Amino acid sequence: MASSYQSMVPEYGGSLDIFRKPMKGHLAVTIIEAHDLYPKDKMSGKSDPYVKVGHGGSKKTKVIKKNLNPFWNETLECESYPIPIGMELRDIGKEMTLKPGHQLKFEVFDHDIIGKNDRMGVARVLTDHILANEKLDRWIALVPRKRKEKARGRIHIKVVFLTRDRPPYPAPPAPPPRYECAEPLFMAPPPAPVVQMDARDVEDEEDEKEIVDNTPPPPPASLQIWRIENNTIAEWPRDSYGTFFSGDSYIVLRTEYVPHPVSYIYTWIGRASTPDEVQAAHAKASELEKAVGGDASSSTQPQGAESSAFLSYFPNNALIYLEGGIDTQWRPEIKTPTVRLLQIKGKKNIRVTQAPLNSKGLNSGDCFILDAGMEIWQWNGKQCNPAERRKAGDILRGFINERTGKPTTHIMDEGDDDATFWAHLGGKGPVSTAAESGADDDVAETHAGKLFRLSDDHGHLQLSLVATGPSNNHTLLEAKDVFLFDAGVEIFVWIGKEASADEKKNAVPWANQYARDNQKAVPITRLLQGGESYYFKQAFSF
């Protein structure tokens, strides 16, 4: 049978780093309008909004009186005011330097004649999205900046960065490789990125420490996901990447360019997937392996036991598990949304799961999102960690963008009282302790890794122990054989280029049998010589 996958565009083999360079020039911001702002004046049901741009707020729009849908169309020339994070003022006249990897901030306030002006929400634009001499035109959802703040609506902005010394870089690379399946086709372009707050912009959160990630940037890569539907494959929506249904199976293709394309194929198996779905997923993964050239690495990822490499492909190393599957005919937009409680748990590897919709579903050690459609609460346990807070905020902002900025949001700490919140949970009740909820990262204890050789040198396949220890030298791996490395939380199968056909064919079945014999419910990842993953290289001192 012909493969369901077909390559659609040439693959790009270069680096993207050259397109992320500081630029000198002049920044101009136009505030167009805002929609559905939060009514700060309880008597009139209106607000008197204006917008501040950047840290210090020296540039701001005029005030629009008694309006929740204000129209400004006001351009702010931003050459000589306190520059926001990532934009440093240099001694070059009216020019400034725009640095990648930071944010430009927009704050909407309600003007009060007497007293302090109230913030109505904040929006951010990544400086990576601001291109030289090109206009960025975008609607952005407004979100709370501090706990207990209320925010609603969205703001329409335009940003232009004018420069005469645009770097003489080559044209942007071709799109990442895309594969189509025969039924259905899926060539829709990805949506515009959702602007998210990162740890560098939480300076006003007194109890949350800034976390600096010193991990080197990942190589240029593309990611595609398909779900198994009635024994065929259907593209999974890009805005749902990282969200998986427990009743389904998925195929994930990761392609890295270092500098030549290296493909990794993952089969994610939900705990409630049917045997037919699991079988179809493995069959389609085999088809995809042939479509990408037959030299891709592959891995099976059981729900709840995903590998570190797999988790690293998603924001904050986090996955969201939802109950149900294709048979439930779930859709992201429903007229009468079901109230649900989501639990955010973890430090290094965060997982988001549906919790029981009652007070017993809460605990002091984690963060929770109560999603009631057009009203959403973020509830922070008193012992939750900063990573959980940030992920909860990401989910909250994602829901706001998904629903065009219309939901009303609330941020609560444990101990805060909100009658509507508790009513959705069936009434206020005792909250479980952090200890009762378990550790943030329930992973296997430090494991003295074991390296085995699978060889047929003696006329039959034999698995023999080569070395023991959490890390080994890559010189132990020989091209003429297959090796199995038990890393505790993951089993790697390394296939040498000169391994026999029998060794290659039986490598994964032997690894599966090894896992069963040792009662290990962990991912099993097949790697080809020359296509080793970052995590495997760490264990073998490549």
User: Which parts of the chain have pLDDT scores under 70?
Assistant: 1-21, 55-58, 77-95, 164-220, 258-259, 294, 316, 327-337, 402, 404-405, 439-448, 469-473, 534-535, 538-542
Same domain, 389 and 278: no
Tokens of 479: 């091209």
For residue 258, what pLDDT is reported? 65
Same domain, 396 and 427: yes
Same domain, 37 and 152: yes
Structural domain total, the chain:
4
Residue that terminates a domain, selected from 332, 366, 383: 332
Same domain, 381 and 467: no
Length of the chain in residues, anyone? 542
Same domain, 1 and 98: no
Same domain, 230 and 342: no
423's CB contacts (< 8 A; 6+ apart) are: none
Whether the Cβ atoms of residue 84 and residue 29 lie closer than 8 Å to each other: no
Whether the Cβ atoms of residue 86 and residue 23 lie closer than 8 Å to each other: no
Of the candidates 365, 357, 364, 363, the one whose C-alpha atom is nearest the C-alpha of residue 421 is 357
Note down the domain range covering 369: 333-437
Measured CA to CA in angstroms, residue 161 lies from 29, 127, 420, 487 at distances of: 9, 10, 45, 49
Same domain, 338 and 426: yes
Same domain, 36 and 77: yes
Q: How far apart are CA 33 and CA 70, in angstroms?
A: 6
CATH number of the domain residue 523 falls in:
3.40.20.10
Whether the Cβ atoms of residue 507 and residue 297 lie closer than 8 Å to each other: no
Q: How far apart are CA 45 and CA 65, in angstroms?
A: 12
In this structure, is residue 215 part of a structural domain?
Answer: no
Same domain, 2 and 47: no
Sheet holding 243-245, edge to edge: 243-245, 318-322, 350-355, 340-345, 367-371, 375-380, 408-413
In this structure, is residue 179 part of a structural domain?
Answer: no
Same domain, 118 and 41: yes
- Kindly state the greatest CA–CA separation across the chain: 90
Distance of alpha carbon 254 from the chain centroid: 14
- pTM summary value: 0.46
Q: Which residue has the tokens 């699991």?
A: 278
DSSP 8-state assignment for residue 206: T
In this structure, is residue 518 part of a structural domain?
Answer: yes
Same domain, 22 and 155: yes
Q: What's the pLDDT tens digit per position in 3-15?
A: 566 555 444 344 4
Cross-strand partners of 228: 233
Q: What's the pLDDT tens digit per position in 304-322?
A: 878 878 888 887 677 888 8
Q: What are phi and psi of 14, to 5 degrees?
A: -95, -175
